[in-house]
Amino acid sequence: MTAATHSTLFPQVPETADAVLDGLDPEQRAVATALHGPVCVLAGAGTGKTRAITHRIAYGVRAGILQPSSVLAVTFTNRAAGEMRGRLRQLGAGGVQARTFHSAALRQLQYFWPKAVGGSLPRLVDRKIQLVADAAAACRIRLDRGELRDVTAEIEWCKVTQTIPADYAAAAARAGREAPRDPAETAKIYAAYEDLKRDRAVIDFEDVLLLTVAVLQDRHDIAEQVRSQYQHFVVDEYQDVSPLQQRLLELWLGERDSLCVVGDASQTIYSFTGATPDHLLDFRTRHPGATVVKLVRDYRSSPQVVHLANGLLSQARGRAAEHRLELISQRPPGAEPVYAEYTDEPAEAEGAARRIRDLIASGVPAGEIAVLFRTNSQSETYEQALADAGVPYQLRGAERFFDRPEVRKAGAALRAAARFGGNDSLLDDAVDLPSQVRAVLSGEGWTGSPPAGSGAVRERWESLAALVHLAQDFATAKPGATLGDLVAELDERASAQHAPTVQGVTLASLHSAKGLEWDVVFLVGVAEGMMPITYAKTDEQIEEERRLLYVGVTRAREHLFVSWALARSPGGRAGRRPSRFLDGLRPGSVATAGGRAGAGPGGIERGAARAGVTAERRTSRSPARCRVCGRTLADAGEMKLMRCDGCPSDMDEGLYERLREWRAVQAERSGQPAFCVFTDRTLMAIAETAPDDEGELARIPGVGVRKLNRFGADVLAICAGQEIMEDGEGN
């Protein structure tokens, strides 16, 4: 970790405005001191952009140039806004508003709606997909689940690009969008959706921005009131601004130019939502006198990782590529990226799980490892592989830290101890804050050593351990701090969703990984058809896929593993090739003009060969086919059942329920989630097959050698109709 991108969790608040600038590099300092007029910060990955802009705001506030209440900093996620608020508080600028576009707009809309329209603001719907389904039904159009999701995305795109139903077909054609249904049908559903919202007196997420824009455009008195409140604006991730968000920003600004934008055109990966880098790239045209600062010193990644990232962009084309930033690593040399090729996707997942298990055994914290993939559908294979390897993991986007039941209980216990601790015998021998926290949390299940294995028990322990570590850092940074001080800190962090680190390998899509970083990153499925994704057809879409891979590469600090599989399923045709984006970059390949090079021998590990017996068994299998209709199976869930989802099931419902009851007992005994014993799909496959012996059971996907040895006797006994006794023996 370096001073430019990482600080201690609880740094001392700088004593003076000039002290705010300490530790900034020359370019970051230039950003922090550019407090007047329009400012454009072009910031590459890992260059400390959040550090630069938060120090800019804090310096302006501490120097008396900016009033905290007059500054509005906007970004795109609650996590990013929370992090910004946390950093500003640590720098002594806690009164500054840091919000997402939607949060800021909703706050203004709720305040001004009675004055602008009258009455209460219509109810905001959390999920619009049911409304879209109702609109399609009203139009007598049948949508399957996938089409419903895609039509919903089209409606969202229309709204952020300010496209009305009548203009949808032409706008979609101009943008090169592939409509999930006939454009006329999509437009019809869109129109019906808007009618339904009016009839039911509800608004959606995009309406928040649209209505705020409408109010500010139509009511100049309200617009002036907003402008008198907010006089200085900072926009993070400016390359992701949609036309609608840009319009709202212009209305907030009025005729003023006190605006600082920060972004990187090479990290534009959300165009499907209406985001465009054009506003960033055109900033100097709209503001000829703007101060422009480029941040290219990469404090996050090793020179080897940065070299690969620069190499990816060196082959890019298009307008964003013309403005790419050449990163310069500030870290000492590290390991070269490792490239691995596997026979099929399950083998690739097993290979990654083995490496991760070895890394953790060597001392790498599980929380500093991530597996990143192109689509969420790839997650299940890696969840299963990590569970089989006994590796704890967390899904990006899962329950927020401060919303976890054990964290809420721990917070209540700490609050009670802070209030009544003098009467608590648990604290008699606690001489300092960390020991007090350990004593209180020991009553909630925390122990000095983690429990064996993974699963729910381990996850609860990790949550409590994160609070223990937080207390230790807090006490180090603030000697003399009390339990009450820590409780106040936790309350502020919960409000900002500024969570401590939880141990567990992160599984995430490349899109959801943006803004995050890890010591070790596994980029998996980097093959043609997945990266770039099959439906990326136009040059612009292909280039966005390249930028997505660039974002993935730049998440890694020290170690990067890149892998691909030659076939999707075991025994499938090995027709896949590594992604064209790696041509000329991975050892043994040759740069081509849009073509693909064959995998060369130098430096590429053949994952299948490393897998030994397992790999040999996989390559000898024939393609997985549906045992009902004979169709070749590709979906991981269908392959477990050995039938298409749509084909009739011959599952023994009674057997399935007995297996579920047995699984619940095993999960409770081991302190693991039920799926770590067997997933629902695997249990369904067992109940449909009703195997008679170990050979039949072993052929069911999801039943590996380890699980066969551990659970095989029980499962076969249940399938034979025998009762399983408490000691695990059949009767």
What are the binding residues for ATP? 43-50
The DSSP element (H or E) to which 440 belongs, if any, is: helix 433-442
- Binding-site residues sit at 43-50
Which segments of 131-251 are extended strands (E)? 202-203, 232-235
**Per-residue b/e over 610-648, b at no fewer than 16 CB within 10 Å?**
ebeebbeebbeeeebbbeeeeeebeebbbbbbbbbeebe
CA-wise closest residue to 338 among 553, 601, 605, 581: 605
**Could you tell me the CA-to-CA distances from 83 to 74, 285, 286, 397, 497 in Å, in that order?**
12, 31, 30, 16, 8
- Reduced to 3 states (helix: H, G, I; strand: E, B; else coil), residue 72 is strand
- H helices, E strands: number in the chain: 30, 17
Q: How many angstroms separate the Cα of 367 from the Cα of each of 342, 469, 522?
A: 26, 14, 13
Nearest-angstrom CA–CA distance, 317 and 582: 15
**Distant-in-sequence, close-in-space partners of 683: CB < 8 Å, separation ≥ 6:** 656, 659, 660, 663
Contact present, 366 and 327 (Cβ < 8 Å): no
Distance CA 295, CA 44 (A): 6
What secondary structure, in 3-state letters, does 260-275 show?
Answer: EEEECHHHCCCHHHCC
- Strand pairing partners for 263? 42
483: CB partners within 8 A, 6+ apart: 414, 417, 418, 421, 433, 436, 437
Give the H or E element holding residue 75: strand 71-75
Q: Tokens for 124?
A: 């905001």
Longest CA–CA span in the chain (Å) reads 85
Q: Which stretches of 596-717 are assigned E, i.e. beta strand?
A: 604-606
**Is residue 558 within 8 Å of residue 329, measured between CB atoms?**
no
In sequence order, what DSSP letters do the residues of 164-187 get, joined into one string? -GGGHHHHHHHHT---SS-HHHHH
